[in-house]
Structure 1
Amino acid sequence: MSSTVADEAMIEEAAQWMALLQSGHASTQEQNAFRRWREGDPRRAEVFNRMGSGLSILGNEGLRRMPRENLLHTLNAPSGRRSFLRTTLALAGFASLASIVTRLSDTWLPSGTLRTGTGERLHLTLEDGSALSLDARSKVVTQFDSQQRLLQLLDGKLLVDVAKDSQRPFIVETEQGRMRALGTRFLVQQGEGQTQITMLHSQVQIITRSGAVQVINAGQKATFNAQGILKLEAVRGGEAAWTQGLLQVRDRSLGEVVEALRDYRRGIIRISPEAASLRLSGIFPLDDSQSALQLLAKSLPVQIEYHSPYWVSIERR
């Protein structure tokens, strides 16, 4: 994808998020999804903030009072969407958008940061020989020295196959604590206020921010916060399927499935609470979210509506 096309897609995504948030109808789930979208690329925050400046000139109160149906109608119509973008971007001073996007970079991130965007995965070998995989919309800082091998997971999900090194422990750190590998292969996900670790081989020692300690073994999954272990359960299988571009679920809610698809699809996926509570099992392609949505529509009593290429809603039939 060329930089120009990518920039236009980012602007349209920002416009759709702005319309949803300003409508006053955004759910908590959608607000969390917006936060992840915005934090997934520093350029998005710049685009969104400038767009917000333009809307403040237009009058945010009037936009908030606009019925949701009117907003959807505006964004569904190509002429209305172009008008919305032109007005907002002109007021926000986007005459030099190309130079702004080019100028912005990841220099605000610490040295040694690895990151992925929407729909991207990264597989590489670290300097110690360990194999690392990053899921979409993930950020991790690598800090290797003579004393330790440290990965700081800032956001998203990683899988690591740790190379043996008797002199330097291998540690993965999140907001909630540290996980010290005891020669192992495991998966870590930084969630909202909690960390989840899935053991695929050997053992890991968890030390939470408060000092609680727990050792988990292969075949176990632990969820913890800064205070302690919240849940310890058996691995269901398929947790690492994302490394192959697949989403494998067993008796999971549709809401959880959609949450995973959001990292692989640009724009908004809105799902009603009634649809989100439906449960299912299956294997879905992450790299083709359109096909994944079609499979969901065939296997569950849901109706999927495409309001625009960047705005999809799922309702229970």
Structure 2
Amino acid sequence: MTRAGNDIDAAIDWLVRLQGPSVSDADWAEFDAWLSVSPENADAYDKVLVFDLEFGPLSRSIEPVVAARPDHDALVIPFRPARRAWLWSTGTALAAAFVAGAILVPMYGPGAARETVYSTGVGERKTVALEDGTRIDLNAASRISVRFTRGERHVVMGDSQAFFDVAKDPKRPFLIDAGDTRVRVVGTAFDVRRRDGSVAVAVQRGLVEVRPTTDRAAAPYRLKPGQGLSHVEGKAGARVAAVETGEITSWREGRLIYRDRPLSEIAGDMNRLFDRPVKLGDARAASMRLSGVLIVDRQDAMIGRLSNLLPVRATTTQDAVVIRAR
């Protein structure tokens, strides 16, 4: 059998296994490892999903067989893999079609894909419940678009930050495009921040795949719970580091945690929380960096705490708060 045929057969087995009633976290971890072996594995799985959605569920690979017990007083209903032969033949046919260049992607009508835009204003947070059971917590001054099709769940992030608690659905991977970065999961909980030309991903639960959209041949980053990735848009590579669980949940609990972050970033975060803009008044202030925690409450109280953490002073006018080095 060809490599394509083997990939399709393996993808069918995974689809059946993940749809089983006894699927475990270990199964998901093993599936994640299989996906990471090569891009061909992920492509094969996506193609099997498309075929499954168009022509019938491959995962229903068992069907009941009714047999009378010897005493004829009851029925025994064992199960057997009645469609296994059909699945293998389907896999062979799929592989042949892919090798020949035929793409079995159904064309959906204009109403098949549903796109919805969710946004928050300055100082506003919002929780969105999607139709599949996924929950999204949107931070202040954020905008995302969500589109569901029969084969995938797709989010595009503008300038925004959001925490995703994704419902498991192996038939529809959950994809997030944030600038030149794509995040792919099946079911997990994680935070994505896209602000000022940078993307950061932090994982609370499950496994998350992150890859650049500009280079499909690049190996993806596979993030586990307690890991975070940071990337500057337009530049190659990314940095992966340990992240405390408290940091992942902090902004939803009214705390902003910074580790060696520029004061310009802190000012930007405040400008998403309050109507009166915060400005940096000199180069020395702009070059400062902060490691610390800011409690989110009143703007004047936050500015006061910032002045205790850094050698700065603030001047408040009717139009702005200007921070200068002291």
Range into which the TM-score falls when normalised by the shorter chain: 0.5 to 0.7
Give the drift of 1:184: 1.4
Give the equivalent residue in structure 1 for 2:273: 264
Within the candidate set 263, 270, 295, 1:285 is matched to 295
Q: Distance in 2 between matches of 1:207 and 1:252?
A: 24
Do the aligned partners of residues 206 and 298 (structure 1) sit closer, same or farther apart at CA in structure 2, a change above 3 Å counting? closer
Percent identity over the alignment is 29
Q: Give unmatched runs, 5+ long, in structure 2.
A: 1-113
Give the equivalent residue in structure 1 for 2:230: 223
Give the equivalent residue in structure 1 for 2:203: 199
Q: Distance in 2 between matches of 1:138 and 1:260?
A: 12
* Counterpart code for 1:290: D
Give the drift of 1:182: 4.0
Do the aligned partners of residues 214 and 161 (structure 1) sit closer, same or farther apart at CA in structure 2, a change above 3 Å counting? same
Give the equivalent residue in structure 1 for 2:167: 163
- Residue 182 of structure 1 contacts residue 202 of structure 1 at CA under 8 Å; is this kept in 2? no
Give the drift of 1:115: 0.2
Within the candidate set 276, 284, 287, 1:274 is matched to 284
Give the equivalent residue in structure 1 for 2:241: 233
Q: Supply the RMSD in Å over aligned alpha carbons.
A: 2.2
- Residue 270 of structure 1 contacts residue 314 of structure 1 at CA under 8 Å; is this kept in 2? yes
Structure scoring higher RCO (CA < 8 A, sep ≥ 6) equals: 1
- Residue 294 of structure 2 contacts residue 305 of structure 2 at CA under 8 Å; is this kept in 1? yes
Q: Distance in 1 between matches of 2:146 and 2:186?
A: 19
Do the aligned partners of residues 302 and 222 (structure 1) sit closer, same or farther apart at CA in structure 2, a change above 3 Å counting? same
Do the aligned partners of residues 252 and 145 (structure 1) sit closer, same or farther apart at CA in structure 2, a change above 3 Å counting? same
Give the drift of 1:282: 3.6
1:117 and 2:121 matched: yes
1:176 and 2:183 matched: no
Is the deviation greater in 115-124 or in 197-206?
Answer: 197-206
Q: Distance in 2 between matches of 1:177 and 1:223?
A: 10
Q: Distance in 2 between matches of 1:177 and 1:165?
A: 22
Give the drift of 1:261: 1.1
Give the drift of 1:152: 1.0
* Counterpart code for 1:258: A
* Counterpart code for 2:123: G
- Residue 253 of structure 1 contacts residue 276 of structure 1 at CA under 8 Å; is this kept in 2? yes
Give the equivalent residue in structure 2 for 1:247: 256
Within the candidate set 286, 294, 304, 2:304 is matched to 294
Q: Match of 2:196, SS?
A: coil
- Residue 204 of structure 2 contacts residue 248 of structure 2 at CA under 8 Å; is this kept in 1? no
Q: Distance in 2 between matches of 1:195 and 1:251?
A: 16
TM norm structure 1? 0.60
Cα-to-partner distance string for 1:103-131 (whole Å, 9 max, x where unaligned):
xxxxxxx9500000101111122111111
Cα-to-partner distance string for 1:198-228 (whole Å, 9 max, x where unaligned):
1222211122122222222222221233564
* Counterpart code for 1:130: T
* Counterpart code for 2:250: A
Q: Match of 2:240, SS?
A: strand
State how many pairs are aligned: 207
Q: Give unmatched runs, 5+ long, in structure 1.
A: 1-109
* Counterpart code for 2:157: L
Give the drift of 1:301: 2.3
- Residue 262 of structure 1 contacts residue 269 of structure 1 at CA under 8 Å; is this kept in 2? yes
* Counterpart code for 1:242: W
Q: Distance in 2 between matches of 1:181 and 1:232?
A: 18
Q: Match of 2:304, SS?
A: helix
- Residue 253 of structure 1 contacts residue 280 of structure 1 at CA under 8 Å; is this kept in 2? yes
Q: Match of 2:172, SS?
A: coil
* Counterpart code for 2:196: E
- Residue 194 of structure 1 contacts residue 226 of structure 1 at CA under 8 Å; is this kept in 2? no
Give the equivalent residue in structure 2 for 1:153: 157
1:303 and 2:310 matched: no
Give the drift of 1:280: 3.9
- Residue 198 of structure 1 contacts residue 235 of structure 1 at CA under 8 Å; is this kept in 2? yes
Q: Distance in 2 between matches of 1:130 and 1:260?
A: 26
Q: Distance in 2 between matches of 1:160 and 1:304?
A: 36
Give the equivalent residue in structure 2 for 1:10: none
Q: Distance in 2 between matches of 1:243 and 1:255?
A: 21
Give the equivalent residue in structure 1 for 2:61: none
Q: Match of 1:199, SS?
A: strand
